[in-house]
Amino acid sequence: MAKETIAGLAQRLGISKASVSYALNGQPGVSELTRRRVLDLADELGWYPSSSARALSRSRAGAVGMVLSADPLLIGTEPYYMGLLTGIETALAEGDMALMLRMVGRDPAQERATYERWAGERKVDGVILFDHRHADPRPALLERLRLPFVLHGAPAPEGVAPRSGTTTDHALDAATIVDHLHQAGHRRIAHVSGPRSFLHEEARIRGVQDRAGRHGISVVQYEADYSLDSGRDAALALLRGGEGISALVFGNDLMSMGGLLAMRAVGLRCPEDVALVSWDDSLHCELASPSVTALARNPGMQGRVAAELLLGLLDTGEVQTARMPAGDLVARSSTGALP
């Protein structure tokens, strides 16, 4: 079983390399009979065309890259990423694209270096970006490098050249959460967000502020960093402040868990003393006691859509955006929704 090549197949069948290639790729130029013979032989031999040879002659890598640039610790514990990844990979596989994964720390230079290398080596055909920041250097970098990309989960851009990507209506999600708290009778709440440098956090903050204002609810904004500890610290600061806050909204599930720990530490009961909502659902929310009311966002589906947008962009060059459906509020004990 010496490694076969397309020349080998051609020789066995007594036809030219070109015909084999056409037959394999479903292109015109060969008769149905020849095509069948080629496909059957390839099948019989268990032969696949060399991906690097193909990549070289097609000038297409057949792979999509993704850089995870969060803290390793956060990546491993944040179920949202894994869900996203699963969705992305599934969609890519269906489009016959491989997923190349790279993990770097919070160091932007490394992420930048990775893109430069990927582009220079033509190792990936495109990349998926998320956690869009204010004045994010990545889109400009990628455009300079001519590396196609989609932007996942950013708020809909205003007055900017359109880019491929998924957009989320964070104001709508904010309204869902605030309305839920309003119905439960809360008049003063705190919103513990992730870093404000993220566009989506900015949008969420505005959304919460707006909706709360409409209900006559006052909001204390607090900036944290998505980690468990930062959530705990935030809760401690807010609840000790004696500001009469009766509900906390956390930007992700980890911080929500931190919030629960803080409440336990200072002897406040949930939901009786302070209610809690997580802006991301996960097993943590389900398992915590009390279980935590959360906005479920279906990361798997979002990843799938993002990947499909990228495939479309690579295939046809068509720039499109997809609006993600609104999150579903899963009411649990932490807002008194369940006994």
Among the residue ranges 24-32, 125-133, 230-238, 301-309, the one whose residues contact DNA (CB under 7 A): 24-32
As a whole number of angstroms, the distance between CA 297 and CA 83 comes to 10
DSSP secondary structure of 303-327: HHHHHHHHHHHHHH----EEEPPPP
The secondary structure of residue 156, as a DSSP letter, is P
316 lies in the binding site for DNA (CB under 7 A)? no
* 6 interacts with, out of DNA, a copy of itself, none, CB within 5 to 8 A per kind: DNA
Nearby residues of 73 by Cβ (< 8 Å), 6 or more positions away: 227
Find the shortest distance in angstroms from Cβ 272 to a copy of itself: 17
Find the shortest distance in angstroms from Cβ 333 to a copy of itself: 13
Find the shortest distance in angstroms from Cβ 117 to DNA: 13
CA 214, 220, 221, 224: dihedral to nearest 10 degrees?
-140
> Which of 57, 216, 283, 317 forms a contact with DNA (CB under 7 A)?
57
244 lies in the binding site for DNA (CB under 7 A)? no
Burial status of residue 112 (CB atoms within 10 A of its CB: 0-12, 13-18, 19 or more): middle
145 lies in the binding site for DNA (CB under 7 A)? no
Number of residues this chain uses to bind DNA (CB under 7 A): 31
Written as six digits, the tokens of 118 are 């990927």
> Which of 11, 50, 183, 289 forms a contact with DNA (CB under 7 A)?
50
Task: Provide φ and ψ at 216, rounded to 5°.
Answer: 75, 25
> Which of 40, 45, 53, 289 forms a contact with DNA (CB under 7 A)?
53
Peptide linkage before 49 cis (omega within 30 of 0): no
34 lies in the binding site for DNA (CB under 7 A)? yes
Find the shortest distance in angstroms from Cβ 123 to DNA: 12
172 closest CA partner among 280, 298, 324, 282: 324
58 lies in the binding site for DNA (CB under 7 A)? yes
236 lies in the binding site for a copy of itself (CB under 8 A)? no
- Burial letters for 283-312: b for 16+ Cβ neighbours within 10 Å, e otherwise? ebbeebebbbbbbebbbbebbbbbbbbbbb
27 lies in the binding site for DNA (CB under 7 A)? yes
- Burial letters for 205-233: b for 16+ Cβ neighbours within 10 Å, e otherwise? bebbbebbeeeebebbebbbbbbbebbbb
102 lies in the binding site for a copy of itself (CB under 8 A)? yes
As a whole number of angstroms, the distance between CA 300 and CA 260 comes to 27
45 lies in the binding site for DNA (CB under 7 A)? no
Which residue lies nearer to DNA by CB, 5 or 321?
5
> Which of 1, 32, 161, 267 forms a contact with DNA (CB under 7 A)?
32
Find the shortest distance in angstroms from Cβ 98 to DNA: 16
21 lies in the binding site for DNA (CB under 7 A)? yes
Residues 293, 277 contacting (CB under 8 angstroms) = yes
Residues 331, 180 contacting (CB under 8 angstroms) = yes
56 lies in the binding site for DNA (CB under 7 A)? yes
Hey, which residues between 146 and 205 contact a copy of itself (CB under 8 A)?
Answer: none
* 154 interacts with, out of a copy of itself, DNA, none, CB within 5 to 8 A per kind: none
Find the shortest distance in angstroms from Cβ 57 to DNA: 3
Binding site for DNA (CB under 7 A): 3-7, 14-19, 21-22, 24-25, 27-34, 49-50, 53-54, 56-59
